[in-house]
């Protein structure tokens, strides 16, 4: 008798959760109320690798542009207080209604660097790629899930209009300038941030619910944490990576 009651209770609870989940999963049910915020910092423990100065001698124009302030590799960029830059922080589970983004994201190839080093787009969001240098670059996104393409873009050419359809972390390189590395991160959620030098992030407008926040760093992988939002509060979390020199 008792077991039957427990099973019944469990079944009802499951049904209830399923119904709640179903309700949240559909988008377009009116804009979410000014909701809660998940903010914090991405930091590391341990010893990170030293970034190396880039020798751009093969492209004299870029070498000259950086003569005063050398440029370093960007796979692990740290900041004050052991913060990590270029970390994509996003809602990886529990997202309740992210609508497709329509504003155009811009990528610049300037002085032989990708600016920004890490950019985030949502599926099919317009991405315009500019060549600001007086020489050619080729843009070679090494996509595996999305199509891999490779286009040359001479100096003065119009921007390349690109878009990515499927969620993926896409490394991008220029074959002519082998030190150029960047990332196109394609996320379905509109709740994301890319950390600056201070490692800080803030995900706003979150309706009440259970969320998983994931931080992705190109060399160290991912760190996740579960956060529950009940109203309009701000929950602060810290995501910490274990850094190794190699």
Partner 1 sequence: MRLHTRFVALVSGLGVLLYTAGATVGSAQETHIEGVTGHAAAGKKVYRRYCILCHGPDGDGNGENAQWIDPKPRDFTLGVFKCRSTPTGTLPTDEDLFNAMSRGFVTTNMPQWLPLSRQNRADVVAFIKTFSPKWKTTKAGTPITIPPEPTLTVESILHGRELYQKMECWKCHGARGHGDGPSAATLTDNKDLPIRPYDFSSGSRFMCGVTNRDLYKIFMTGLDGTPMPSFADDIKPADGWDLVHFLRTLQPLQTPEAAIWQAWLASHANELKPIGPPGTGQ
At its nearest, how many Å lie between partner 1 and the CB of residue 149? Answer: 3
- 19 binds partner 1 per the rule CB under 8 A: no
What is the total count of residues that contact partner 1 (CB under 8 A)?
Answer: 23
Q: What are phi and psi of 125, to 5 degrees?
A: -75, 135
Per-residue contact track with partner 1, 178 to 217, x per CB under 8 A? Answer: x---------------------------------------
- 150 binds partner 1 per the rule CB under 8 A: yes
At its nearest, how many Å lie between partner 1 and the CB of residue 104? Answer: 18
Nearer to partner 1, 106 or 135 (CB): 135
User: Which one of the spans 32-40, 170-178, 196-204, 226-234 is the region binding partner 1 (CB under 8 A)?
Assistant: 170-178
Nearer to partner 1, 7 or 142 (CB): 142
- 115 binds partner 1 per the rule CB under 8 A: no
234-243 and 36-46 beta bridge pairing: parallel
- 152 binds partner 1 per the rule CB under 8 A: yes
- 138 binds partner 1 per the rule CB under 8 A: yes
Residue 144 CA to residue 187 CA, distance in Å, equals: 15
Residue from 101, 115, 160, 240 binding partner 1 (CB under 8 A): 160
Q: CA-based angle 212:218:219, to the nearest 5?
A: 110
Q: What are phi and psi of 105, to 5 degrees?
A: -95, 145
Residue 146 CA to residue 157 CA, distance in Å, equals: 25
Residue 132 CA to residue 227 CA, distance in Å, equals: 42
Residue 51 has a CB neighbour count (10 Å cut-off) of: 14
At its nearest, how many Å lie between partner 1 and the CB of residue 198? Answer: 33
Q: Which residues of 111-148 are buried (b: 16+ CB within 10 A; e: fewer)?
A: bbbbebbbbbbbbebebebbbebeeebbbbbebeebee
Residue from 117, 140, 184, 191 binding partner 1 (CB under 8 A): 140
User: Which one of the spans 2-10, 77-85, 143-151, 219-227 is the region binding partner 1 (CB under 8 A)?
Assistant: 143-151
Helix (H) or strand (E) holding 119: strand 118-121
Residue 8 CA to residue 144 CA, distance in Å, equals: 46
Sites for partner 1 among residues 53-92 (CB under 8 A): 58, 60
Contact residues: partner 1, CB under 8 A: 58, 60, 135-136, 138-140, 142, 144, 147-154, 157, 160, 175-178
């Amino acid at each position: 008798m008792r077991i039957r009651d427990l099973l019944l209770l469990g079944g009802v609870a499951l049904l209830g959760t399923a119904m709640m989940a179903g309700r949240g999963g559909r988008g377009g049910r009116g804009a979410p109320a000014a909701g809660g915020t998940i903010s914090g910092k991405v930091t590391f423990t341990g010893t990170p690798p030293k970034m190396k100065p880039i020798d751009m001698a093969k492209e004299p124009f870029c070498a000259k542009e950086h003569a005063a302030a050398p440029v370093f590799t960007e796979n692990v960029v740290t900041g004050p207080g052991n913060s990590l830059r270029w970390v994509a922080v996003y809602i990886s589970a529990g997202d309740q209604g992210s609508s497709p983004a329509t504003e155009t994201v811009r990528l610049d190839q300037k002085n032989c660097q990708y600016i920004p080093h890490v950019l985030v787009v949502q599926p099919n969001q317009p991405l315009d790629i500019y060549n600001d240098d007086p020489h050619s670059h080729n843009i070679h996104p090494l996509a595996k899930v999305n199509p891999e393409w490779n286009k040359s873009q001479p100096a003065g050419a119009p921007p390349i209009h690109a878009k990515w359809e499927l969620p993926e972390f896409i490394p991008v390189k220029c074959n002519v300038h082998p030190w150029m590395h960047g990332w196109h991160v394609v996320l379905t959620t509109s709740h994301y941030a890319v950390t600056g030098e201070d490692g800080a992030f803030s995900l706003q407008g979150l309706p009440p619910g259970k969320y998983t926040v994931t931080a992705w760093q190109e060399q160290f992988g991912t760190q996740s944490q579960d956060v529950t939002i009940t109203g309009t509060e701000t929950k602060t979390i810290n995501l910490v990576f274990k850094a190794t020199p190699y």
